[in-house]
Structure 1
């Protein structure tokens, strides 16, 4: 299995699209900007910041996952999400969501790790 990137998902602000959530996004963009990160994606409820010199070095801040049942703690982009899903299912892992093709161009599922953390496993289509 080939891993393309691993991104921590930092929960921030209100998950209801309020000004508090937008302010949390702005505050995080400003803070992580001081560390050299730049915004590369923002859907209002999730914003990804990346290093301009190492684009796979990323952090996401998320008010709440728009389509999943929970907000994942970590995202792992893989080459073949269906193969990873089959491997985890075969090993008896708890699948929390999906697999599902999302409107923003990813196929993903959520799995719970041994520590109770929810991992968003995805492939860009």
Structure 2
């Protein structure tokens, strides 16, 4: 399994206000917006940050998202490692397959692959 990208997720109360702060201060550009989550990136798109109000289908917001080439393998590995799965392996309507696990410090990790 290979990690493709890692994106921090910040929970915000005001999505438009947060977008404005990051765009105006850091020069980031919006590259994805689903209304409840948006992703901003630098000009080279090598660095990204996601801002979200409340996850659309999960009971908890993740702290970080990790895109992998094989989410099913990652899920099997997380279960085998005894990690707590806090959002089951799910095919989401916006084109990703994902699950969330909680690490030993309580951080919630969204592991996903694009379909």
Q: TM-score range by the shorter chain?
A: over 0.9
Cα distance in structure 1, aligned partners of 2:46 and 2:79: 27
**2:39 aligned partner:** 48
Unaligned segments of structure 2, at least 5 residues: none
1:84 maps to 2:92: no
> Counterpart of 1:35?
26
SS at match of 1:69: coil
Q: What do the CA deviations read for 1:68-92 (whole angstroms, capped 9, x no partner)? A: 1111111110110000111111111
RMSD of equivalent CA atoms = 0.9
1:1-125 matches, cutoff 5 A: 1-13=1-13, 24-33=14-23, 34-53=25-44, 55-125=45-115
Query: Normalization by structure 1: what TM-score?
Result: 0.87
* TM-fit CA distance, 1:100: 0.2
Cα distance per residue 1:94-120 (max 9 Å; x no partner): 111110000000000000011101100
- What's the TM-score, normalizing by structure 2? 0.95
- In the TM superposition, structure 1's runs of 4+ consecutive aligned residues that sit over 3 Å from their partners are none
* Displacement after TM superposition at 1:56 (Å): 3.5
How far apart are the structure 2 equivalents of 1:117 and 1:56? 24
Aligned residue pair count = 114
Residue ranges of structure 1 left out of the alignment (5+ in a row): 14-23
